Amino acid sequence: MKRFSNLGRIAMVVLSINIIFAIISIFLPSSFYAEPCCDSFISPSLHHLLGSDDLGMDIFYQIVHGSLISLLIGISTAVISGIGGSLLGILAAYKGGKTDSIIMGVCDVLTALPHLPFIIVLSVFVGSGLNTIILVISLLSWVGPAKMIRAKVMMLKNEKFIVAAESYGGNFFYITFVHLLPQVFPMVSVSMFKIASHAIIAEASLSFLGLGDPTSKSWGLLLNHGISFPGIYFTDYWKWWITSPLIMLILLILALSFIARDFEMILNKKL
Amino acid sequence: MFKKFLSVAILSFCTLPMFASGINESTNLIDDTSQSKVLHLAGGNVGTLNPFQHMNRGPGIFRTFLIFDTLLEKDENGLIPWLASSYTIAEDGKTYTFHLQENAYWQDGEELTADDVKFSIEYYREHTPVYNQLVMNGKFIVDSVEVIDKKTVKIITDEPGVAYLEHLGYFAIIPEHIWSDIDDPRSYDGSDRCIGSGPFIVESYSATNGTYRLIANENFWGPKQAVDAIEWIPVSDANLAFEKGEIDLTTISADLISRYENNPEYTIKKVPALHCYRLMMNSETREEFTDKNLRKAIAYAIDVDDLIQKIDRGSAFVSSQGYIPNNSSYYNDDVIKYPYSREKALELLDGKEYSFTLLTDNSSSSTKLCELIKLKLEDVNIHVDIKAIDSVSRDNAIVTGNYEMVVVFYGGMGGDPDYLSNVYGASSNYIKGWSNEEIEELLNKQSVEFDDDIRRDELNRIQELISDEVPMYLMQGAYWNFIYRPNTYDNWTTRYDHNYLSHIKLSYLLRD
Amino acid sequence: MKRFIIVLFAILTINFLLPRLMPGDPFLTLSAEDGFTSVQYSEQEVQDLKEYYGLDKPIATQFIEYYANVLKGDFGRSIFYNESVNKILLRKLPWTIFIVLSSLLIGCIVGLSLGILSMINRNKNFDKVFYTLIITVSEIPSFLIGIAFLFIFAANLGWFPLSGGVSAFTEPSFSLAYIEDILSHAFLPIITMSIPSIGQFYILSRSSMITIISKDYMVTGKAKGLSKRRLNIFYILKNSLPPIISRVFLNIGHLFASSILVENVFAYPGIGTLMKESVLKRDYPMIQAIFLIIAMLVLLMNYLAEFINGKIDPRGSKYEKIQ
């Protein structure tokens, strides 16, 4: 933490706030953000920090809950893509030959596909629940880690300690988990932050277009509701209904990017 | 040098959209003289205005019918003569003879004759128009058409039916001299593809911009038009556009009524939308729903007034469980009502607990509605899992029966009450796993009962039975709150089967 | 080259399969939006429509026909719009191309200029701040910036129209008024989309030029006595071009994808809004056509980027082969 840049430290603060919100949200009764608390469109007040939306639901608590959703999506996608991608990358590099060609071929196709249109079309196919969105984004994001890991493992493959382990009878899994993964992990963690950031952007984009999960109270959905409310330009409501999810999204995405960047710097310095 | 290149580049980029606008359309420069009365409405692209090329949503249908005529028209109370100045129905209930207007002409000058009517029907038999009134319950209702003389045509239907007149009276008549050679009407792009006999002519249409300009047909056989031209323009926010005077009519949400109501500059007209939210229950997937008490309990457990407040902001009314809405002349007030009562619901449930999935589309109003329903049902120990999917899939699920409970906002509640057969009749598969012999019998009877009094009795009985069965729970029917400036234009009117003011042909015509 | 053909084939196949695997039959709709009537089709009519759209034939036949049609350039007929897909695409594509190319141009020019500025001032304090600022702003997803712009400049201040490509009933002409109209509608979307590009070109040009400046041949140039000005701008720019040019192509791909979101924010009549609508309505022919076009464009751009990179900078291509 000491070696973080100033921006990185601010980013950690933002991330921590979001984590705190998420934890609070787990213990918060759903009535706070899922049920109307008062009249619609009340202005921010002490009791309702950000006022209420068109249904009379407290916006502040919806934002708090949104942190949980965003972090959930970010972490799940990062973990699934990170682990899945790493394993596949290691597999491709280690086994080589046909396995490698197939995995690389799939990577090429997935890289060539434009992500957002593909996510849009896929999410319609598999439904728009949160779980499916996470799966779909992971399906596209594992390519990054996989390629990186593969390159690294190809270099490591011939290192003496690997050859030694093999000659001692270590099988694929042993070598993967005990020797390769720890070497590879730092690289993966940097890209995991980036994947998390992309996942949150993807979910926000989908929800904003109206193609996401309508029962989740994600920030993207709040934006969608706000913008499509008839007569929104007439009124002052947008000042808190639209700006709050907008700012939260921007802050979290930037925070994750900066943390990733700092991690990368630290990593490169180490090397 | 670089600057020159830059400006040329920018200019050429700007011309790109121009080519887009210019392709495949005829756009004319409008010269708006101060004498002419032009109405401005919010629009969007609904396709080319002929029976085969408009988009299959409401606005497309109604705008096309301003260009084309039908045998009969619809006003606030019922059917009125239109292209057919008079008609007779024979004793057998199957033979309809229509006498056409003497001075009816097509917009290209040709005379409109009975041959055109016969041609239209036969052409529709082979080439399905987008909005096809000549098909009921999956079959084409016309057996044969005979041209008696130049202005008289005889149509023989496959069966006698009280509701047939409404359908026979409302299909668009197309000109034989234009369409008889066309094999693929959907791709026909001749310049005469929008020639009808109706009160308005398509002067310009731009699919890119979603704009239309219709002008009054000088040689129209019928009532004088109340405007010289109607323009539809796309707007990003209808309320804003209305306030700025860009458009002359729009609907507003109940919240905004107070903003305009005491201002004599504006008139607010509240009309029933003839669409309501329904909660459907599928007895085929969940046998529990065959228990009438469960269905009634669910009806009592849901607080519709609360829904009206929260979802429709007060702009809705409690639907009748007899299906026919309370503004129809056929409405029977003696149906059973289910005002919110948790106690009655618990009583009927008799201590049982249930758990169901509730399907909905992913619009914000439907999901909010379902969340409120879920809260109330949980209150009486019915556990609900909400599943939100897109509206197309939800509609599919309703048709295929792939749901346990589903909420849908749907219409089909205007016009001749024979629509009850589509919902509750023997041949209907709308409500899965439910049927009632007595209701089906009565429905069959009323559909061929030409004696009005007897028919009304039968319909009353049907509504009472339906309200007792509650095979699906009808929650709230929506209102539309229209607002317009009476000084600019106030010829708006409704129809007995449809109340969207700008859709109605007679809104644009002067009647005596 | 072979790699690209395989990927193309894969894209075409995915494109064909996806809409068909989607739940939701476009002909089985019941309800309509906003309480408007929607047309209900009888079974016979559904059958006729399916025949018309070729949806009733076995999958294999559909597949072959699809490929044949795509090669011919026939994308079928839109179920929702009731018009041929090609016509609709020809109407909407120019708008998207217009804002994409404009954003690219602006992104490139402004990004490079800022990069040059930064390189010249690279040792000053303010450069570090500037660098951080630009990076920060370009990391923000463009549609979020777009929403902010929409509310601040269009709704609140009223400087720009809220939506659309052009005002209603204006006739296309070469008049100043028409061009002004188009530009005022396109201004916000273009600015929104160019911001990430500006950021990318800035970073790229800056780092590329800084690297070059310390290279040997620069010292040689200086030694030769070339004037400082000539050395600075033309030499450096020329030598840092390769990655910039390939980035231009890559960027086009990204811009098309981001235009999907930005167009929806501004209700701009391009293929972005078209895609959202057709997905909502299950308009298979349209969804397939748009997805195919975007995918092929991105693929083409990636290929061109690699190709040009290889041609311009032979050193670079050697490294690639090793990889």
Residue B127 lies in a domain: yes
Could you tell me if residue B54 is inside a domain?
Answer: yes
**Do B169 and B70 touch, CB atoms closer than 8 A?**
yes
b/e per residue A244-264 (b: at least 16 CB within 10 A): bbbebbbbbbbbbbbbbbbbb
Residue C114: CA atoms inside 13 Å, Cβ hemisphere, count?
Answer: 23
Helical (H) or strand (E) element with C227: none
Domain membership flag for residue B18: no
Find the farthest-apart pair of alpha carbons in chain C and give their distance in angstroms, rounded.
85
What pLDDT digit, counting tens, does each position of B442-500 carry?
Answer: 999 998 888 889 999 999 999 999 999 999 999 999 899 999 999 999 899 999 888 99
Residue C286 has pLDDT above 60, yes or no: yes
Q: Average pLDDT for residues C56-65, to the nearest whole number?
A: 76
Whether residues B195 and B150 fall in one domain: yes
Q: How far is B349 from chain C (nearest CA, A)?
A: 32
Name the band, by pLDDT with cuts 50, 70 and 90, for residue B243.
confident
Partner residue opposite B237 with nearest CB, options A56, A128, A233: A233
Quote the percentage of chain C above a pLDDT of 90.
8
- pLDDT confidence of residue C76: 78
pTM for the whole structure:
0.79
Q: What is the mean pLDDT of residues A206-232?
A: 81
The interaxial angle of helices A219-228 and A59-95, nearest 10 deg, is 130
Say whether residue B132 is in contact with chain C using an 8 A CB cutoff: yes
User: In this complex, do C169 and B398 lie within 8 Å of one another by their Cβ atoms?
Assistant: no
Would you call B141 helix, strand, or coil by DSSP? coil
Residues of C in contact with B311 (CB under 8 A): none
User: Which residues, in sequence order, are CB contacts of A246 under 8 Å at separation 6+?
Assistant: A219, A223, C144, C147, C148
Considering only residues 20 to 79 of chain B, which have any Cβ-Cβ distance to chain C shorter than 8 Å?
A: 20-24, 27-30, 45, 47-48, 52-59, 61
Average pLDDT of the residues in A74-102: 86
Q: What local confidence, expressed as pLDDT, does residue A31 receive?
A: 73
Residues of B in contact with C164 (CB under 8 A): 209, 234, 236
Coil, strand or helix: which one is B104? coil
Q: Which of A70, A125, A235 to mutate to test the interface with C (most CBs of C within 10 A)?
A: A125
Rounded average pLDDT over C230-256: 76
Expressed as residue numbers, the domain containing B425 is 276-478
Cα–Cα nearest to B324, from B433, B461, B169: B461
DSSP B313-351: TT-EEEPPTTSS-TTSTT--TTS------HHHHHHHHTT
- What does DSSP assign to residue A128? -
Specify the pLDDT at position C225: 63
Averaged over C85-97, what is the pLDDT?
Answer: 89
A207 interface with B at CB cutoff 8 Å: no
CATH of the domain at B87: 3.40.190.10
By the CB < 8 Å criterion, does B391 face chain A?
Answer: no
Tell me whether residue B116 is in a domain.
Answer: yes
Let me know whether B223 and B297 are in one domain: no
**Which among C24, C36, C280 has CB closest to B59?**
C36
pLDDT confidence of residue C178: 80
Taking CB atoms and an 8 Å limit, are B389 and A40 in contact across chains? Answer: no
Domain-embedded: residue B145: yes
SS (H, E, C) B447-489: HCCCCHHHHHHHHHHHHHHHHHHCCEEEEEEEEEEEEECCCCC
In this structure, the answer to whether residues B375 and B451 fall within a common structural domain is yes
Place of tokens 């409970």: B405
Q: Which of B14, B130, B240 sits opposite C183 (nearest CB)?
A: B14
Regarding whether B190 and B80 lie in a shared domain, the answer is yes
Q: Is the pLDDT of residue A49 over 60?
A: yes
Res. C227: pLDDT tops 70: no
Is B268 part of any domain?
no
For residue C98, what is the nearest residue in chain B, using CA coordinates? B13
The widest CA-to-CA distance across chain A, in whole angstroms, is: 75
| Chains sharing 3 or more CB pairs under 8 A with chain A | B, C
Q: At what angle do helices C271-280 and C284-312 cross, to 10 degrees?
A: 140
Give the closest residue to A210 by CA, choosing from C290, C272, C80, B363.
Answer: B363
CATH number at residue B461: 3.10.105.10
Q: What is chain C's length?
A: 323
Asked if A183 contacts A253 with a C-beta cutoff of 8 angstroms, the reply is no
- Average predicted confidence (pLDDT) for chain C: 77
User: Tokens 């509605």, residue?
Assistant: B369
Check whether A16 has a pLDDT greater than 60: yes
Are B94 and B225 found together in one domain?
A: yes
Co-location of B176 and B198 in the same domain = yes
Q: What angle do CA A105, A107, A113 make, to 5 degrees?
A: 105
Q: Is the CB of C275 less than 8 angstroms away from the CB of A208?
A: no
| DSSP E strands, B75-176 | 79-81, 84-89, 95-100, 135-136, 139-140, 142-149, 152-157
Question: Which positions in chain A touch C162 (Cβ < 8 Å)?
Answer: 233
Rounded to whole angstroms, the Cα distance separating C47 from A183 reads 60
Size of interface A-B (CB pairs under 8 A): 47
Q: Which residue in A has a C-alpha nearest to residue C23's C-alpha?
A: A125
Instruction: Tell whether B316 and B227 lie within a shared domain.
Output: no
> Of A36-40, A148-152, B48-52, C222-226, which range is least confident?
C222-226
A55, A60, A61: which is closest to A27 by C-alpha? A61
* Residues on chain B touching A224 (C-beta within 8 angstroms): 364
B485 near A CB under 8 A: no
Chain B residues touching residue C29 (CB < 8 angstroms): 391-392, 395-396
Q: What is the pLDDT of residues A90-142, one digit of tens each?
A: 888 877 788 888 888 888 878 777 788 888 877 766 666 788 888 888 888 88
- CB-side neighbour CA atoms (13 Å) of A51: 16
Q: Are residues B369 and B326 in the same domain?
A: yes
pLDDT in tens, B407-434: 998 888 888 898 898 889 888 888 988 9
In a domain, B448, yes or no: yes
Lookup result for tokens 């030029």: C209
Q: Are residues B227 and B281 in the same domain?
A: no
Question: Hey, what are B268's tokens?
Answer: 């607010």
Beta strand B152-157 with B139-140 is unpaired
* Residue of B10, B55, B429, B502 to mutate, interface with C, max C Cβ within 10 Å: B55
B255/A124 CB distance under 8 A: no
Rounded-to-integer distance, Cα B278 and Cα A132, Å: 29
Tell me which residue in A118, A223, A250 faces C140 most closely, judged by beta carbons.
Answer: A250
HSE, CB side, 13 Å, CA atoms: give it for residue C212: 23
ipTM summary value: 0.81
pLDDT for B10-50, tens place per residue?
555 555 554 444 333 433 334 444 568 899 999 888 899 99
In a domain, B266, yes or no: no
Q: In degrees rounded to 5, what are phi and psi of residue B478?
A: -85, 155
Task: Give the domains, in start order, of chain A with CATH numbers.
Answer: 6-39+56-270 (1.10.3720.10)
Local structure of C275: helix, strand or coil: helix
Amino acid letter, B174: I
Size of interface A-C (CB pairs under 8 A): 99
State whether B317 and B452 are in the same domain.
Answer: yes
Tokens read off for A201: 């952007």
Say if strands B229-233 and B38-42 run parallel, antiparallel, or are unpaired: parallel
Q: Mark whether B283 and B165 lie in a shared domain.
A: no
Q: Domain total for chain B? A: 2
Would you mind telling me the total number of residues written for chain A in this entry?
271
Examine the domain organization and report whether B39 and B182 are in the same domain: yes
Distance CA C272, CA B96 (A): 51
